[in-house]
Amino acid sequence: MNEKFDLILEPGGGIRHYWRDIWKYRELFFFLAWRDILVRYKQTAIGIAWSVLRPFLTMVVFTIVFNKLAKLPSDGIPYPVMVYAAMLPWQFFANTLAESSNSLIDNQNLLTKVYFPRLVMPASSVIVSLIDFFISLVILAGLMLWYGFLPDWHVILLPLFLFQALLFAFGCGLWISALNVQYRDFRYVVPFLIQFGLYISPVGFSSSIVPEQWRMFYAFNPMVGVIEGFRWAITGKEAMIYWPGFLLSLVLIGMILTSGFWWFRRMERTFADVV
Amino acid sequence: MTTVIRVENLGKKYTLHHQQRESYTALRDVLASGISSIGQSLLHPFQKSLPDRQIKEQFWALKDISFEVKEGDRIGIIGRNGAGKSTLLKILSRITEPTSGRVKIKGRVASLLEVGTGFHPELTGRENIFLNGAILGMSRSEIKKKFDEIVDFAEIEKFLDTPVKRYSSGMYVRLAFAVAAHLEPEILIVDEVLAVGDAQFQKKCLGKMGEVAQGGRTVLFVSHQMAAIQNLCDRVLVLNSGKIQLIAETKVAINSYLSTMSVEDTDNNLEYMKRSGNGLVRLASFHMENEKGVYIKSICSGDSLLLVFTCLSTIQLSIKNVSIGFSIHNSLGDTLSVFYSHYANVLFDFDSDGVIKCKIDDFPFSPGQYHIAARVLADGAEADWPKGFIGRIDVEAGDYYKSGKYGDAGVGPVLIRGCWSLS
């Protein structure tokens, strides 16, 4: 009798094969992302326009309020460019967070009927926001041309900061998507967090206006590091970034991501029963 | 033959929260009860904390399930609602984890718990084939290879580039099943898919599943349709409140299942019924059985049914010329059929008591619930007429036409057979 089994299901089991399973289901990951993108741009004729308009209009408002009315400094950079350079990672973060937080609930019919590593779900929703990001990036390029402000070599480091934003958003997404399944009213917390975050992060203003002794404290918001990184890469201005704060942001993101994985893995086993 | 699935002492426990009206937990409730319990312990620091206001009840959906499935087996799983069939399939297809015990599986498992899972209404048929395939565990190259076959099987060539939301429900189901049918896993898990679609397509699905099984692959099939189980499976597992009642060869298991359904039902009590008639003969008891003499309360269309009436003579004398009749009613109480023994020129004579049986070959009613009433005549006069239904029979889909098809359920209560010809 041949006694070799491929798969053993037991209470608390399945962790051994988890990473292998994620690799096996990588195609599903792409398919889900592909579906979300397809649906998004099919359902709304203004799908693309919307992803352009939202950050653009916010940028206009911020420029008027913070630059023209509040007369905040911009360190020699055209104010709209400075705001938009921060708007990019912020919008990307906010979209990713919103999408991945709801990904499990929105797909609960899949969750209760088919097996796949649930991690695929919040992960694939990150991709959709990436598309929006690249569209916005084109707008930034146009804006910089308009103001005749061209970036230097620093800009090649931009993908690294994008990756940093992605990891942060994904880490938060893991936490919140799992919490969302467990506590269904948690979804109302997310829009509030995002709105709140927009004002405490240096999107509409330069973080150089924060007093020097407070900058480390300010960096406890990991998005500060991400946004400063973006501005630094795009403008090349050393004053834009506070390196100790940036390192702190990396550490914090690492912690959120690791704990997010841990929490998600812990809750994942019961998703199908609770959802 | 190698064992492909081994289930050992499998159990699955669910915790029921009685207080909640909603199926999910809300954070506000958790916070509120947390705060109130902190408040309690502040107010009464020496009192033991009160037990949770929520009554939590533990419920074993499955308990101590053990069985083995060999390669190429076609196993049917039957049981009433809530017997644990779906939970078992959910564990086997890895959707939920067991609470105790273990399952060992060899080979790729694909489950077909509900057709059309993961279809997106905005996407076209073509796009949905790829998406659904991926969700069910096919790789892109596999789907590409099978694409034409799937489209062919589903008969939707013309609508490939139409969004699925514009499909008729028939097309939708066909497409969904087509994708799933071309999965080619080593182990296929199917739950009630055949309940949908037109008769012709159902036949096709059964054929496809038969083909899957012929190809040496293993099939686990959950259904309420005994006919489908009979056609497809060689062994059947009967579940009853989370435990295995029986694993046996199909025919045996189905009979056992149908007969246990009867024993637990005792709603028609002859003894306390109002009745009319001269009382010379009294109907004492009634039950139904199958050809083998097993008590049943449900039957498949086309099977044989015996109605068994026990009559008592109340005058301690032999009674002559007794005719017994029964009527069959639908669930609304409408009379569908009446049959007295004297219609068939049969009259009974008996001494103190008599057990009278009426055998109906090829029970000609379609799936549903029917009620039975009876009346006894002696020498042409009404002797006993209980004013109420003396029995109830649940009819399940069966092979009435002896063709492997079971027609369209719910169209009409009475089934007829006939010879079709062209002249």
pLDDT higher than 80, residue B113 = no
Task: Examine residue A187 and state whether it is found in any structural domain, yes or no.
Answer: yes
The arithmetic mean of pLDDT across residues B359-366, rounded, is 91
* Crossing angle between the packed helical segments A120-146 and A47-62, to the nearest 10 degrees: 60
- For chains A and B, CB pairs below 8 A equal 120
**Residue matched to tokens 């690492």:** A254
Which residues of chain B lie closer than 8 angstroms to A40, CB-CB? none
Higher model confidence: residue A253 or residue A110?
A253
Average pLDDT over residues B179-184: 79
CA distance B210 to chain A (A): 23
Q: Quick check: is A5 in a domain?
A: no
Between B197 and A44, the more confident residue is: A44
Q: Using pLDDT thresholds of 50, 70 and 90, give the confidence band for residue B344.
A: very high
Residue with tokens 């569908």: B336
Between CA A34 and CA A12 the distance in angstroms is 32
Are B2 and A110 in contact (CB < 8 Å)?
A: no
Q: Is the pLDDT of residue B326 over 90?
A: yes
- DSSP, res B3: E
Residue B150 has pLDDT above 60, yes or no: yes
Contacts of A113 in chain B (CB under 8 A): 95, 111, 113-114, 117
CATH second-level architecture of B59-263?
A: 3-Layer(aba) Sandwich (3.40)
Tell which wins on pLDDT, B27 or B166: B166
Whether this prediction's pTM lies above 0.80 is answered by no
CB-CB neighbors (< 8 A) of B131 in chain A: 31, 34-35
- What residue segments make up the domains of chain B, in order of their start? 59-263, 265-396
Indicate whether A17 pLDDT > 80.
no
Mean predicted lDDT score pLDDT of chain B: 81
Handedness of CA B199, B204, B205, B209 (dihedral sign): positive
Residues A132, A92 contacting (CB under 8 angstroms) = yes
- The pLDDT > 90 percentage for chain B reads 14
Q: Which pLDDT band, with edges at 50, 70 and 90, does B53 fall under?
A: very low
| Secondary structure element (H or E) that encloses residue B305, with its range | strand B305-313
Res. A214: pLDDT tops 80: yes
Retrieve residue A138's tokens. Answer: 């084109």
Q: Inform me whether the pLDDT recorded for B52 exceeds 50.
A: no
Q: Flag whether A218 is in a domain.
A: yes
- Of A148-162, B42-56, B327-341, the one with minimum mean pLDDT is B42-56
Rounded alpha-carbon distances, angstroms, from residue A89 to A111, A133, A232, B30, B364: 30, 8, 13, 34, 71
pLDDT of B342 reads: 92
Q: What is the mean pLDDT of residues B85-112?
A: 86
Q: Is residue A78 part of a domain?
A: yes
DSSP H or E stretch at residue B95 = none
The pLDDT, as a whole number, for residue B264 is 45
A12 touches chain B (CB under 8 A): yes
B222 min Cα distance to partner chain A (Å) = 15
Q: How confident is the model at residue B376 (pLDDT cuts 50, 70, 90)?
A: very high
Q: Domain span at residue A265? A: 15-274
Q: Contacts of residue B132 in chain A, CB cutoff 8 Å?
A: none
What are B196-245's pLDDT values in tens digits? 556 666 677 777 777 777 777 888 888 766 777 887 888 999 998 888 88
Does A42 sit within 8 Å of B106, measured CB to CB?
no
Q: Chain B within 8 Å of A16 (Cβ-Cβ)?
A: no
What is the average pLDDT score of chain A? 85
Residues of A in contact with B222 (CB under 8 A): none
How many alpha carbons lie under 13 Å from residue B166 in its C-beta half-sphere? 11
Going by DSSP bridges, is the β-strand pair B74-78/B100-105 parallel, antiparallel, or unpaired?
unpaired
Query: Rounded mean pLDDT of A208-231?
Result: 87
In this predicted structure, the answer to whether residue B253 has a pLDDT above a threshold of 80 is yes
8 Å CB contact between B87 and B267: no
Q: Average pLDDT of A169-176?
A: 92
SS3 category, B308: strand
CB-CB contact of B224 with B239 (8 Å): no
Question: Which one is predicted more confidently, A262 or B181?
Answer: A262
Domain B265-396 has CATH 3.40.1010.10: no
Percent of chain B with pLDDT over 70: 83
Percent of chain A at pLDDT > 90 equals 15
A3 within some domain: no
Counting the structural domains of chain A, the total is 1
Cα–Cα distance, A42 to A25 (Å, whole number) = 26
